[in-house]
Chain A
Amino acid sequence: MNQQTGAIAYTEYDLPNGLHVILHEDHKAPIVCVNIAYHVGSKNETPERAGFAHLFEHLLFEGSTNVKRGDFDTYITQAGGYDNAYTTEDKTNYYEVLPSHQLGLALWLESDRMMGFVLGEDSLRTQKDVVKEEKRERYDNAPYGTLSERMMRMAYKKFPYKWTVIGDMETIEAANLVDVKDFYDTFYSPSNAVLVVSGDFDPIQTRTTIEQYFGAIPSGKVPITRPTFDEEEQTSERREIIDNEPVPLPGVFYAYQMPAEGTDDAIALDILTDILSTGRSSRLYQKLVYTDKTASEVSAYVDLREMPGLLWIYAMTNEPEDKTDAIEEGIESVLAEIRAGGVSEIELQKAKNKTEMRLIAGRISASGKADQLAHSKVFFDDTSIANSIIDRYLSVSSDDIQRASEKYLVKEKRCAIIYIPSEESDDDETGE
């Protein structure tokens, strides 16, 4: 990517304990972002502790050797900053955004919890309750909220993508302080982490501060065993009909297993999902929503992961009593056209423009840039991919898309979940 399209300039190095450091200077605003990504997610859990990586993310805010319970957020907000974290199947990311003169504070806080995490029973109890409420709010009490759990179980038979990041009530509740210590000792070591500082800072002074705070943390002693992808190839459609949940409209949800993030086929399929459903000129929108009027909304997107992830397509009917057959036929006919004839040059150019726009929009803020850099290092062990990936998107051809569609977007490799409003639910009656 050239300067004009805003490549992110950076320097990077390793500390002797294995911590990988990436520095990106940008002095446009007096703001700095500290981002730490640990290479651990829900796929590193055991089935008995599903949800633990995410619960642990909550726990890590509960205190460390020199930071009392509750003080982490207080320090950051007092400095005029904000902090947050997120957990995926593959990584856990913590970040702080601060006025630039407070950079030292974030480095102190992050190093303290990387060096000596402290947790009491009462903290564990509270955070289990908070996480359970998060699960209720986002999944159990939301329409179609059981979808991801059902789809993961259907799409993955062996690999630890078969449970969701949030986990189950029972496995969340089962977590104890021994699990906490083991998980911390195994995964929260400098050699399993990437530290990014992005924004307005003095690089020489910052290197010294990083060395002071992080240099003394011992490297990880517990070897990490990472799961190898062992799913057998799917050879026939998997299908489930859910008709006992209070959903408002019938919905069709498809997931096709796709290759890992960063592979040529994943890039081609990512471009394809733009052609399928981004904007009102997209193929699925034009067919299902605009022309046939069989769906009120339709969407296709890639759920990219470090190991093979999923390409999702979903659509909702217009009314509660509508059948979903026409939607299913419509989706299949659009995919069949692409498998047979690929896509047009105009569609390709359009999708590439969208992708470029999206990547650039993600680079306006210091935190957006930090996230892209950390992600590339953790997933690909190569920071430069944050900048080079755009060229690979821009070189996708219609043949690439056609080939990937023939390989992955076929009925035999599809997982389908169809939701139909339950009888006893009166949610769907129009207001009389």
Chain B
Amino acid sequence: MLDRSKPPQPGPITQIAFPKFISTKTKAGTPVFLVENHGQPLVSVTLYLRGGSSVEQAGAEGLSSVSAELLTKGTASRSATEIAEQIDFVGGSLGANAGWDSTTISTSVLTRYLPTALDLLADVTLNPVFADAELDRAKLQRVASISLAKSDPGYLSETIFSKKVFNGHPYSLESNGTELSIPALTSAGVKLGYEGISSPSNGFFIVAGDISESVLISMLEDKFGSWNGKTLPPQNSAPPMLDKQRVVALVEKAQAVQSAIRVGHIGITRDHQDYTACYVLNMLLGGYFNSRINMNLREKNGFTYGARSFFDARKQTGAFAVSTEVRTEVTARAVEEIINELSLIRKEPVTEDELAMVKNYIIGSFPLSIETPQQVAGRISTIALFNLDAGYYDRFRDKVALLSREDLLETAQKYIHPDSLTIAASGDAKVLANDMKMFGDVEVYNNDFVKL
């Protein structure tokens, strides 16, 4: 007889290992990682080049990102329109993007059109021309997109948060550029920027989908064989230190009915030995729906549609941040609740139940995060980009399972600092400036990030 009052017993678990992937190299020495999977007739190929927006200087913000954008806007043998027509015709995608620590050039296409897509991928990687006319177009569109971004409350609070937390480091800059820096870019400058990262010794390929190793390698040798190898200088800046004092930074947003809040401080790098402990701690604190911060701000108080926290761990340093959008009049109360949660997690060990819950969630949901070949490829790119151990994801669940309440308390005390918070918000600055005084000295900025 069916007992509806209780959940059913789960069936037998299917143990699932992190999928095997192929790790090889081209003749020029570029590592190639392949997740072979013939489930759907699709292939995606991504070339990662080390170095992204984090190599920029103030005044040239957006250089890496515009440089990446121009890769697909003309080569020695193809105009921008020809490139677009060829990739669009096969229904594929081709794009290049600068991240903080890497620039990616990628394509995704039906298997039968892979030769066309790889030919284009190699051409834009090896022979971009950075034509003036294309740069001018890119500038015009970029400045427009910056003015769109500056009316987005989330962008405003995130940007001021980064400026304060990463104080002086390239991570504090606006990676898409500013209305002043973009017009000043030159084609010689963006070309030089790209040449500084483009080398077979400075990147790796991540491939996922419907292709075998032998076919892939012969195609890559054929298309990328002429890529010349030069050694590039290392790219590192001194990471900023944790601020000792609380900072309250507000950005004025016209006719705001909500405040976008970002609260946090300097965090850790992705390859840090305590990253997994921070990840688990954060999941419990604000990383998933059942987390303390979301339950408090959304389910208990109805302040917000959602609240979350994260360790944004990058190559050179990182940030810990809590992020939420709340209506103007409860902004200070929401920040108070966030600070309470950050203080509490340092003061008392989490409960056995909470720890068990978060472990069940992270370990149990691991198979879901490796369902598709593209997801697996994403994980492998993390390993490669941050030089993690090749078996990192084989051991990840065991590492999570071993963490104790004491470990998490120690982690919280080491990496969560309620007294050193940067409290950033965009919204109705007149109301907020007064309400937020309780947290420290208030600085108010306009949406060009100029102090008022």
- A residues whose Cβ falls under 8 Å from a Cβ of B: 4-6, 28-31, 65-66, 70, 73-75, 77-82, 97-105, 107-109, 112, 125-134, 136-138, 140-143, 200, 209, 212-213, 245-249, 278-282, 286, 289-290, 293, 296-297, 316-320, 346, 349-350, 352-357, 360-361, 363-366, 424-432
Contacts and interface: CB of A to CB of B under 8 A. Distances in A.
A213 B2 contact: yes
11 contacts: A77-B357, A80-B364, A100-B14, A102-B364, A126-B300, A249-B147, A296-B145, A353-B91, A354-B91, A357-B110, A431-B448
A163 to B, nearest CB: 20
B16 interface: yes
B40 A6 contact: yes
Contact of A82 (B81, B88, B152, B365): B365
A77 B361 contact: yes
B7 A105 contact: yes
A74 B294 CA distance: 13
Nearest to B259: A141
A133 B326 contact: yes
A353 B87 CA distance: 10
A355 B6 CA distance: 45
B258 interface: yes
Given A65-B4, A431-B179, A137 B258 contact: yes
Contact of A137 (B8, B84, B151, B325): B325
Nearest to A296: B144
Given A134-B305, A141-B256, A141-B258, A356 B91 contact: yes
B205 interface: no
Interface of B: 2, 4-14, 16, 39-42, 80-81, 84-85, 87-92, 109-110, 113, 137, 140-141, 143-145, 147-148, 150-153, 178-180, 254-258, 288-290, 298-300, 302-305, 325-327, 357, 360-361, 363-368, 370-374, 446-450
B317 to A, nearest CB: 27
B374 A248 contact: no
A100 B257 CA distance: 43
A293 B138 CA distance: 11
A278 to B, nearest CB: 7
Contact of A80 (B88, B92, B137, B367): B367
B16 A75 contact: no
A109 B7 CA distance: 8
A75 B7 CA distance: 9
B16 A30 contact: yes
Contact of B255 (A65, A99, A245, A357): A245
Contacts of A212: 2
A350 B447 contact: no
Contacts of B87: 279
Given A142-B152, A246-B151, A80 B325 contact: no
Contacts, number: 248
Given A209-B8, A431-B449, 19 more contacts: A66-B6, A80-B361, A80-B363, A80-B365, A97-B368, A99-B14, A99-B364, A101-B13, A126-B302, A133-B325, A136-B257, A136-B327, A213-B2, A282-B88, A293-B140, A296-B145, A364-B374, A424-B254, A432-B448
A338 to B, nearest CB: 17
A363 B92 CA distance: 16
A104 B81 contact: no
A29 B376 CA distance: 12
B33 to A, nearest CB: 19
B360 A357 contact: no
A80 B304 contact: no
B364 A143 contact: no
A169 B269 CA distance: 43
A355 B110 CA distance: 11
B221 to A, nearest CB: 27
B40 A281 contact: no
Among A31, A200, A209, A245, chain B packs the most CB atoms within 10 A around the CB of A31
Contacts of B145: 296-297
B368 to A, nearest CB: 6
A133 to B, nearest CB: 4
A103 B171 CA distance: 44
A366 B179 contact: no
A427 B147 contact: yes
A170 B51 CA distance: 51
Closest 5 CB pairs of A and B: A80-B364, A353-B91, A129-B302, A296-B144, A431-B448
